[in-house]
Amino acid sequence: MDANYEENSPALREACGIFGVFGTENAASEIYNGLFALQHRGQEGAGIVVSDGEKVRSHKDRGLVSEVFSGYPMERLSGHLGIGHVRYSTTGVDRIQNIQPLVAECSDGIWSVAHNGNLTNAAVIRRMYQKAGAIFQTSTDSEVLVHLLSDPMFRLRPQRVGRTLGELEGAFAFLIMNKNSIMGARDPHGFKPLSIGRKENEWFLSSETCAFGHSNIEYVRDVEPGELVVIDKNGLNSSFFAERTRNLSQCVFENIYFARPDSLVFGRNVHEVRVQYGALLAKQHPVDADLVISVPDSGNSAALGYSRESGIPLDYGFIRNHYVGRTFIMPNEKARAAGVDMKLAVLAEVVKGKRIVVVDDSIVRGTTARRRIDALRKNGAKEVHMRISCPAITHPCFYGIDFPTKEELIAGNRDTNEVCERVGADSVGHLSVENLLAPFENRRNFCTACFTGDYSVEVTGKKGKKILEKHG
């Protein structure tokens, strides 16, 4: 993630996509395809680092995967192992140095790191190394792992990587690479997903299983919380750098919004979970209406579930321009607002004179909801009822999702009636926390802090708990 590390700054967040491969003839091509499948997780920058066992080569730049590598001679990225990253930052400087994977030359060779998540003790570690004279090249929290890996206190000890990971707090899925191996790790709370795939003698690591489909890669299992897997010429080896917590804190927003519908996340197919959310939403918040429409694409599955359960017909009310990215993960409010206007067009013939149920995955700041409702009314909708397939977001996230300060959240200091008035809907209904967790066997294994304010991992820094006290 990006960070400016000022003490008056709130936690800074991002969600990204990571993909790694070992044992293929053309690692760069496989990583490109994997990142392309993970493009929905980040659209600001992309990068690939590969090794042939002797030399490490890399290329990264701003833009979409197709833009970054358009015209780039991929034969320059020759190698049989490598890792890649698609980036979405929410704050901080838009610097090419922040695009991952990060590459650093240490005393024992070149190491590379790709990260999804947010390290809550990064500021403390960063200041410690800076006071000792270390120089940081980026404003990302991910760079602290590079400094830990090069620190003689860890570098000269057995189980070096595991020991460094054990120093980190917060949410992370890491891919780590040297010239001979790739490694994958998840934090002991299990916030972020990371899956293992295989095709004959080739091994793969990915943020989501949807990235395995392009090459008929077999999904093997998830990397366990607190686990470090090392893949090299001897195959896959597993160890645990930390004991998993008794109750995990898996990010439920992966199932609500971030993950692609065809992915398996935390043991469940995302589409099936979202359909179930829609059905539960229809039971919890019924309404007399003529039509159910979704806000594409992340609202599609829940809208299907709402329609099936309620018996209200489902139709296309919005047509999406697929050449506009995901407005939620655009880096500033101006870009998000412009993106909303360009992204969706209303089918006036469908909504005119109708009482409409609009199913969406979330309302964060309210910017997009207001604009969509205004557009429906301008095109003749008689009533507009918002149905949201997650609870009201009332608290900021410190673990890797762009939920801003409590004051910026539309539901941070407002009840449902006030939110409804602010977005201009006839009614608003959110899924309850109980129904949000209903599709899962162990409901205690999910983080719901953005809905409840119950944070499982503290944010540490010079001000320590005051960060949470201020924004919680």
Domain at 116, CATH number: 3.60.20.10
> What CA–CA distance (Å, rounded) separates 90 from 88?
7
Query: Domain for residue 180, yes or no?
Result: yes
The per-residue DSSP string of 103-125 comes to EEEETTEEEEEEEEEEETTHHHH
Q: Are residues 39 and 157 in the same domain?
A: yes
> What CA–CA distance (Å, rounded) separates 303 from 425?
17
Q: Which residues make beta-bridge pairs with 177? A: 112, 182
Q: Are residues 241 and 298 in the same domain?
A: no
Q: How big is the chain by its Cα radius of gyration, in Å?
A: 22
Each residue of 76-87: pLDDT tens digit?
999 999 999 999
Annotated catalytic residue 16: yes
Cβ–Cβ under 8 Å, residues 122 and 167 = no
Q: Are residues 386 and 422 in the same domain?
A: yes
Query: Domain for residue 177, yes or no?
Result: yes
Single-letter amino acid, residue 243: E
Query: Domain for residue 467, yes or no?
Result: no
* Residue 313 DSSP one-character state: P
Query: Domain for residue 336, yes or no?
Result: yes
Q: Are residues 232 and 274 in the same domain?
A: no
Each residue of 238-283: pLDDT tens digit?
999 999 998 999 999 999 999 999 999 999 999 999 999 999 999 9
Q: For the whole model, what pTM was predicted?
A: 0.90
**Domain of residue 451, residue span:** 270-455
Q: Are residues 238 and 310 in the same domain?
A: no
**Is the pLDDT score of 404 beyond 90?**
no
Q: Are residues 315 and 239 in the same domain?
A: no
Q: How confident is the model at residue 471 (pLDDT cuts 50, 70, 90)?
A: very low
Query: Domain for residue 73, yes or no?
Result: yes
Cβ–Cβ under 8 Å, residues 228 and 186 = no
Domain at 282, CATH number: 3.40.50.2020
Q: Are residues 320 and 191 in the same domain?
A: no
Domain count, the chain: 2
**One of 16, 210, 390, 450 is an active-site residue; which one?**
16
